[in-house]
Amino acid sequence: MSGIEKKKTITVVIASYKYGHLAAHCIESVLGQSVIPDKILFVDDGVGDCDFLPELYPNIDYVFRKKNLGTVANFSDMLSRVNTQKCLFLGADNWLRSDSIELFLQKDTDIVTYDIIVTGELKHDVLKRHPDELTDCRGDFYWSRFMKHHGSMVYDVSMAKKLGYHANKNSEKSEEDLVLWNSMIKAGATVSHIDEGLLFYRRHKSNFNNYLINKKQPNFFVRGLKKLKRKIKLFIKK
């Protein structure tokens, strides 16, 4: 308990994009922690399906955007609002094990990683993409992230603010978490790992649909159009 007695401070940023129907579950998992975070921020990135939450959870600070900023701009703005020593971003469709914050605060490193339980109706899609990294776990999948990044890693706020969130220019996805991880490692960040499944990562249809319609991912559509044009040309030649 000595790590907690030093009173490290931590913020949980809960980010939602069309996850209003799942957000309360996520919030409950944070409020039900054995050690409550110093600050909980909640952001709805321009959808408007979370307006009911302040009445249920008045002690959380809310940001309800009038228009969608996209992942990188949204996360950058939310990070600028964090004033604690540590921070983690949590998707509003996911949830934490009840002792997670307590375990995070026992670590003194710049980054804390931990393992993931993959659940939800599309959990097998993750297994297809990472067959050598997942193992069966009571009907779900256990995903070891030993010394590897993920979107809900815990990190030092001052270092993260200096480096910032940025998109991966070489990927269809923004991969802002991977970019931040690489930047922090390059800057000399220290890393520790908790060998336990603390994040419940829910894979569901909204994950896929949000990716398809997110206009902040132009490379996906540009490449898709180019492929379609090539197919049309081949069809015409035939």
pLDDT, position 102:
98
Residues of the chain with pLDDT under 50: 1-4, 208, 211-223, 225
pLDDT, position 237:
57
For the beta carbon of residue 232, count every other beta carbon within 10 angstroms.
10
Tell me the two tokens of residue 177. Answer: 């978490």
The upper half-sphere exposure of residue 48, i.e. CA atoms within 13 Å in the direction of its Cβ, equals: 2
Tell me the two tokens of residue 93. Answer: 């469709």
pLDDT, position 204:
85
Q: What's the CATH number where 112 sits?
A: 3.90.550.10
Q: Is the pTM of this model over 0.75?
A: yes
- In degrees, rounded to 5, the angle at the alpha carbon of residue 79 between the alpha carbons of residues 59 and 118 is 80
Q: Give the domain range for residue 10.
A: 2-237
CA–CA dist 155, 190 (Å, integer)? 10
- In degrees, rounded to 5, the angle at the alpha carbon of residue 201 between the alpha carbons of residues 198 and 202 is 140
When divided into structural domains, the chain yields a total of: 1
Q: Which residues contact 145 (CB under 8 A, 6 or more apart)?
A: 113, 114, 115, 116, 193
- Dump pLDDT digits (tens) for 65-91: 999 999 999 999 999 999 999 999 999
